[in-house]
Structure 1
Amino acid sequence: MRHVRESYVAAMAEFQAEGRGGPDDQTVIGAEIRRYGPTWHTREGFARYVRDLRAEAEADRPRPAGIVPATTLWWVEGAEYLGRLAIRHRLTPKLLDVGGHIGYDVRPSARRRGHATAMLRAALPIAAGLGIDRALITCDVDNLGSRKVIEACGGEFEDQRGVKLRFWVPTSPA
């Protein structure tokens, strides 16, 4: 676990180097960098972070308004952390507009090697197991790479809402 922790911390430093984690960063990674970043380097702090991630999947767990249960999965190769995805178990009105069921991030040094497509393909049967027949996945209008990932996994474009494109992806083979 120590080696994955070290790789994870290095990946988060890569995200920070591209501007993630600042007060204006409303992404999950941004929030986690601000909340957990100071203690990730310690075994105890990292263990607490992992426990909190696992607890987010518990349906009965109390949570703030607008926050739904979510299963977070990491994409690793050996002890190298490559990326992660979050499968939200249901949609709120806000998630229906801009967030969707599944979000994913690939660490900057591992991009453009097919990891995002593999991650999303691996997540779809898990989403199906959570009762999600079609997963809503969104991406920024200018994120051509993410759009290609979604379409490669069967995503069908529905519409654009603000700066987000919305796609529906079947979670089970037809």
Structure 2
Amino acid sequence: MAPVELVAPDPRLHRSWTEVVAEFGGVGATMHGSGWLFESFEDVSLARLERLVEQLRRDGEGLPWTGGVVRCDYLWIVEGDELVGFLALRHSLTDALRRDGGHIGYAVRPSRRGEGIATRALGLALERSAALGLDRVLLTCDDDNEASWRTMLSHGAVLEDVVDGKRRYWIATGR
């Protein structure tokens, strides 16, 4: 088994990306961490992916929908040549991100859940967060998303509160 890595979105993984999109049902709203929260994916052509990757690069320079402008690293979780998930690492927080979203969001493709991929990817994201100078990061998840909050707890997350069905956890980066 290849190690889990975080890489920049890459059109060379087009075949794997189309498989992931199909697993998520082709609906961008279910692909948390992908950066494509408002997309639908009827068109999964290589040309469309190339445009989306370029859009992510631009959006990462300053997310407008977060209640302010926030820099974000959109990353793909890969094992070898297989795309296994998505991760977004936001460099700062707005009020909207403090309520829902936090610094880090992630999603693992349904067929690969339960294998510890999110746990390994979150560990890599915490290392990146420390390198950015963040002492601690906020992560949120739905109250009923036990897999996600258990992933956070495995990295020492401390529950701050549960508001409107959202759990909010802080994790020290070890910086």
TM-score of the aligned structures, taking structure 2 as reference length: 0.82
Counterparts in 2 of 1:41 and 1:26: CA distance versus 1, 3 Å:
closer
In structure 1, runs of 5+ residues without a counterpart are none
Matched, 1:126 2:133: no
Q: Give the number of equivalent residue pairs.
A: 163
Q: Indicate the percent of aligned positions where both proteins have the same amino acid.
A: 39
Matched, 1:6 2:15: yes
2:38 counterpart letter in structure 1:
A
2:54 counterpart letter in structure 1:
R
Relative to total residues, which structure has the larger helix share, 1 or 2? 1
| Mapped partners of 2:28, 2:43: distance in 1 | 14
Q: 1:24-43 to 2 correspondence within 5 Å?
A: 28-32=35-39, 34=40, 37-42=41-46
> Which residue of the other structure, out of 31, 43, 51, is the alignment partner of 1:48?
51
Q: In the alignment, which residue of structure 2 is the partner of 1:143?
A: 145
TM-score of the aligned structures, taking structure 1 as reference length: 0.83
Q: 1:136, CA displacement in angstroms?
A: 0.2
Give the secondary-structure state (helix, strand or coil) at the position aligned to 1:167: strand
Which protein has greater RCO, CA pairs closer than 8 Å, 6+ apart?
2
Counterparts in 2 of 1:153 and 1:159: CA distance versus 1, 3 Å:
same
| Mapped partners of 1:145, 1:64: distance in 2 | 27
Q: 1:128, CA displacement in angstroms?
A: 1.8
Are the counterparts in 2 of residues 140 and 165 from structure 1 also a CA contact under 8 Å?
yes
Give the secondary-structure state (helix, strand or coil) at the position aligned to 2:77: strand
> Which residue of the other structure, out of 151, 155, 158, is the alignment partner of 2:157?
155
